[in-house]
Amino acid sequence: MVHLQGQKRRRDQPIKKTSELLRVPALPFLCVLVACGAVVTACVSCGYSLAGRGSFLPAYIRTIGIPTFTNRTTVFNLETQLTQKVRAEFIGRGKYQVLPQNTGIDALLTGEVSAVTIVPASFNTQQLASRYAITMTARIELRDMRENKVLWENPSVMFRQEYEATSGRTATDPNAFFQQDTTSLERMSTEFARTIVSAILEAF
Protein backbone atom coordinates (compact mmCIF):
# COMPACT_ATOMS: atom_id res chain seq x y z
CA MET A 1 0.00 0.00 0.00
CA VAL A 2 1.31 3.42 -0.95
CA HIS A 3 0.25 6.66 0.73
CA LEU A 4 0.85 10.21 -0.41
CA GLN A 5 4.36 11.28 0.44
CA GLY A 6 4.84 14.04 2.97
CA GLN A 7 1.24 13.90 4.07
CA LYS A 8 -0.41 11.93 6.86
CA ARG A 9 -3.88 10.52 6.46
CA ARG A 10 -6.49 12.05 8.75
CA ARG A 11 -9.39 9.99 10.09
CA ASP A 12 -11.84 12.19 8.17
CA GLN A 13 -9.82 12.05 4.96
CA PRO A 14 -9.76 8.44 3.73
CA ILE A 15 -7.47 7.07 1.08
CA LYS A 16 -9.31 6.16 -2.10
CA LYS A 17 -8.21 3.43 -4.49
CA THR A 18 -7.64 4.44 -8.10
CA SER A 19 -10.34 2.23 -9.53
CA GLU A 20 -14.04 2.35 -8.82
CA LEU A 21 -14.54 -1.03 -10.47
CA LEU A 22 -13.40 -3.06 -7.47
CA ARG A 23 -14.48 -1.96 -4.03
CA VAL A 24 -13.11 -4.82 -1.93
CA PRO A 25 -10.30 -3.39 0.28
CA ALA A 26 -6.72 -4.61 -0.14
CA LEU A 27 -7.49 -6.65 -3.26
CA PRO A 28 -5.68 -5.84 -6.53
CA PHE A 29 -7.46 -4.05 -9.32
CA LEU A 30 -7.43 -5.93 -12.61
CA CYS A 31 -8.25 -4.03 -15.74
CA VAL A 32 -8.80 -6.22 -18.78
CA LEU A 33 -8.79 -4.74 -22.25
CA VAL A 34 -9.11 -6.48 -25.58
CA ALA A 35 -7.34 -4.77 -28.49
CA CYS A 36 -6.11 -6.09 -31.84
CA GLY A 37 -6.73 -9.67 -30.75
CA ALA A 38 -4.48 -9.41 -27.70
CA VAL A 39 -5.53 -9.62 -24.07
CA VAL A 40 -4.11 -6.76 -22.03
CA THR A 41 -4.04 -6.69 -18.25
CA ALA A 42 -2.65 -4.02 -16.00
CA CYS A 43 -2.37 -3.97 -12.22
CA VAL A 44 -2.57 -0.44 -10.84
CA SER A 45 -3.70 -1.32 -7.33
CA CYS A 46 -0.81 0.49 -5.65
CA GLY A 47 -1.91 3.93 -6.84
CA TYR A 48 -3.63 6.01 -4.18
CA SER A 49 -4.79 9.59 -3.82
CA LEU A 50 -6.92 11.75 -1.55
CA ALA A 51 -10.65 11.09 -1.82
CA GLY A 52 -13.37 13.66 -2.32
CA ARG A 53 -11.80 15.80 -5.05
CA GLY A 54 -14.43 15.30 -7.74
CA SER A 55 -13.92 13.78 -11.16
CA PHE A 56 -10.67 15.40 -12.27
CA LEU A 57 -7.44 16.84 -10.92
CA PRO A 58 -7.54 19.99 -8.72
CA ALA A 59 -8.95 22.91 -10.69
CA TYR A 60 -5.75 24.97 -10.60
CA ILE A 61 -3.84 22.26 -12.48
CA ARG A 62 -3.92 23.30 -16.11
CA THR A 63 -0.42 22.45 -17.34
CA ILE A 64 1.18 19.03 -16.86
CA GLY A 65 4.85 18.45 -17.52
CA ILE A 66 5.69 15.00 -18.88
CA PRO A 67 9.43 14.71 -19.53
CA THR A 68 10.77 11.63 -21.31
CA PHE A 69 10.46 8.52 -19.16
CA THR A 70 13.58 6.76 -17.89
CA ASN A 71 14.25 3.39 -19.51
CA ARG A 72 16.18 0.87 -17.39
CA THR A 73 15.60 -1.96 -19.86
CA THR A 74 17.32 -3.05 -23.07
CA VAL A 75 14.25 -2.39 -25.22
CA PHE A 76 15.26 0.25 -27.74
CA ASN A 77 13.14 3.41 -27.90
CA LEU A 78 10.72 2.15 -25.25
CA GLU A 79 10.90 5.39 -23.25
CA THR A 80 10.10 7.49 -26.33
CA GLN A 81 7.07 5.41 -27.28
CA LEU A 82 5.63 5.38 -23.76
CA THR A 83 6.17 9.10 -23.21
CA GLN A 84 4.57 10.06 -26.51
CA LYS A 85 1.55 7.86 -25.86
CA VAL A 86 1.02 9.17 -22.32
CA ARG A 87 1.28 12.77 -23.54
CA ALA A 88 -1.20 12.07 -26.33
CA GLU A 89 -3.63 10.42 -23.91
CA PHE A 90 -3.64 13.46 -21.60
CA ILE A 91 -4.01 15.82 -24.58
CA GLY A 92 -6.91 13.73 -25.82
CA ARG A 93 -8.79 14.39 -22.60
CA GLY A 94 -8.99 18.04 -23.70
CA LYS A 95 -8.52 19.64 -20.28
CA TYR A 96 -4.76 20.00 -19.88
CA GLN A 97 -1.84 21.60 -21.65
CA VAL A 98 0.95 19.03 -21.84
CA LEU A 99 4.56 20.21 -21.91
CA PRO A 100 7.84 18.26 -22.08
CA GLN A 101 9.64 20.17 -19.30
CA ASN A 102 9.73 19.69 -15.53
CA THR A 103 9.60 23.40 -14.56
CA GLY A 104 7.03 26.18 -15.01
CA ILE A 105 4.11 23.71 -14.76
CA ASP A 106 1.28 22.95 -12.35
CA ALA A 107 1.88 19.19 -12.12
CA LEU A 108 4.72 16.86 -13.06
CA LEU A 109 4.28 13.29 -14.28
CA THR A 110 7.41 11.14 -14.19
CA GLY A 111 7.91 7.53 -15.18
CA GLU A 112 10.64 4.92 -15.02
CA VAL A 113 10.47 1.52 -16.71
CA SER A 114 12.44 -0.96 -14.64
CA ALA A 115 11.86 -4.28 -16.40
CA VAL A 116 10.39 -5.97 -19.46
CA THR A 117 10.11 -9.77 -19.62
CA ILE A 118 8.75 -12.25 -22.15
CA VAL A 119 7.59 -15.82 -21.43
CA PRO A 120 5.46 -18.43 -23.25
CA ALA A 121 1.79 -18.06 -22.28
CA SER A 122 0.41 -21.18 -23.97
CA PHE A 123 1.56 -24.14 -26.03
CA ASN A 124 0.25 -26.11 -28.98
CA THR A 125 0.00 -29.89 -29.28
CA GLN A 126 3.67 -30.03 -30.35
CA GLN A 127 4.60 -28.27 -27.10
CA LEU A 128 5.73 -25.20 -29.00
CA ALA A 129 4.78 -21.77 -27.74
CA SER A 130 1.61 -20.51 -29.43
CA ARG A 131 1.31 -17.29 -27.42
CA TYR A 132 3.80 -15.12 -25.58
CA ALA A 133 3.19 -12.81 -22.62
CA ILE A 134 5.19 -9.62 -22.26
CA THR A 135 5.19 -7.98 -18.83
CA MET A 136 6.40 -4.45 -18.21
CA THR A 137 7.09 -2.98 -14.76
CA ALA A 138 7.26 0.77 -14.21
CA ARG A 139 7.13 3.46 -11.54
CA ILE A 140 4.74 6.37 -12.12
CA GLU A 141 4.34 9.54 -10.03
CA LEU A 142 2.17 12.63 -10.46
CA ARG A 143 3.31 15.54 -8.29
CA ASP A 144 1.52 18.80 -7.53
CA MET A 145 4.24 21.39 -8.14
CA ARG A 146 2.32 24.22 -6.45
CA GLU A 147 1.80 22.33 -3.19
CA ASN A 148 4.91 20.14 -3.64
CA LYS A 149 3.07 16.93 -2.81
CA VAL A 150 2.33 13.66 -4.54
CA LEU A 151 -1.16 13.47 -6.04
CA TRP A 152 -0.91 9.91 -7.36
CA GLU A 153 1.79 7.28 -7.44
CA ASN A 154 2.39 3.65 -8.19
CA PRO A 155 5.94 2.43 -7.55
CA SER A 156 5.37 -0.89 -9.29
CA VAL A 157 2.91 -0.78 -12.18
CA MET A 158 2.75 -4.22 -13.81
CA PHE A 159 1.40 -4.26 -17.35
CA ARG A 160 0.94 -7.51 -19.27
CA GLN A 161 0.04 -8.12 -22.90
CA GLU A 162 -0.17 -11.35 -24.89
CA TYR A 163 0.78 -11.88 -28.52
CA GLU A 164 0.27 -14.74 -30.94
CA ALA A 165 3.46 -16.57 -31.85
CA THR A 166 4.46 -16.54 -35.49
CA SER A 167 6.23 -19.31 -37.34
CA GLY A 168 9.99 -19.26 -37.03
CA ARG A 169 10.08 -16.63 -34.30
CA THR A 170 12.22 -17.26 -31.23
CA ALA A 171 10.87 -15.07 -28.46
CA THR A 172 13.30 -15.10 -25.57
CA ASP A 173 14.44 -11.48 -25.60
CA PRO A 174 11.94 -8.56 -25.45
CA ASN A 175 14.21 -6.26 -27.44
CA ALA A 176 14.53 -8.79 -30.28
CA PHE A 177 10.78 -9.46 -30.17
CA PHE A 178 9.86 -5.79 -30.58
CA GLN A 179 12.40 -5.38 -33.36
CA GLN A 180 10.69 -8.20 -35.26
CA ASP A 181 7.21 -6.89 -34.55
CA THR A 182 7.24 -3.09 -34.25
CA THR A 183 3.45 -2.86 -34.02
CA SER A 184 3.54 -4.83 -30.76
CA LEU A 185 5.51 -2.09 -29.01
CA GLU A 186 3.11 0.55 -30.28
CA ARG A 187 0.07 -1.43 -29.12
CA MET A 188 1.56 -2.03 -25.69
CA SER A 189 2.51 1.64 -25.32
CA THR A 190 -0.98 2.78 -26.33
CA GLU A 191 -2.76 0.50 -23.86
CA PHE A 192 -0.26 1.33 -21.11
CA ALA A 193 -0.87 5.07 -21.57
CA ARG A 194 -4.66 4.65 -21.63
CA THR A 195 -4.61 2.56 -18.46
CA ILE A 196 -2.30 4.87 -16.52
CA VAL A 197 -4.07 8.12 -17.45
CA SER A 198 -7.48 6.62 -16.68
CA ALA A 199 -6.25 5.37 -13.30
CA ILE A 200 -4.91 8.81 -12.42
CA LEU A 201 -8.01 10.76 -13.47
CA GLU A 202 -10.45 8.27 -11.93
CA ALA A 203 -8.67 8.68 -8.60
CA PHE A 204 -10.06 12.19 -8.13
* DSSP state string for 38-96: EEEEEE-TT-EEES-S-SSS-TT--EEE-PPPEE-SS-TTHHHHHHHHHHHHHHHTTS-
Band (pLDDT 50/70/90 cuts) for residue 37 is: very low
Average pLDDT over residues 170-190: 80
Percent of the chain's residues with pLDDT above 90: 45
> In the chain, pLDDT over 70 holds for what percent of residues?
69
Compute CA distances 177 → 42, 97, 161, whole Å: 20, 35, 13
Q: What per-residue confidence (pLDDT) applies to 172? A: 74
pLDDT of residue 171: 65
pTM for the model: 0.70
pLDDT of residue 204: 62
What pLDDT does residue 184 have?
82
- Gyration radius (Cα) of the chain, Å: 18
| More confident position, 156 or 26 | 156
**Terminal CA-CA length for the chain:** 18
Is residue 167 very low, low, confident or very high in pLDDT (cuts 50, 70, 90)? low
Q: What is the pLDDT of residues 120-129, one digit of tens each?
A: 888 888 877 7
Q: What is the mean pLDDT of residues 31-36?
A: 34
User: What integer pLDDT is reported at residue 153 of this predicted model?
Assistant: 94
pLDDT at 168: 53
Residue 126 DSSP symbol: T
pLDDT per residue as tens digits for the range 120-164: 888 888 877 778 888 999 999 999 999 999 999 999 999 888 887
Lowest mean pLDDT among 41-55, 79-93, 105-119, 162-176: 41-55
Taking residues 193-202, report their average pLDDT.
92
Q: Burial of 42 by CB count in 10 Å (0-12 exposed, 13-18 middle, 19+ buried)?
A: buried
Whether the pLDDT of residue 23 is over 50: the answer is no
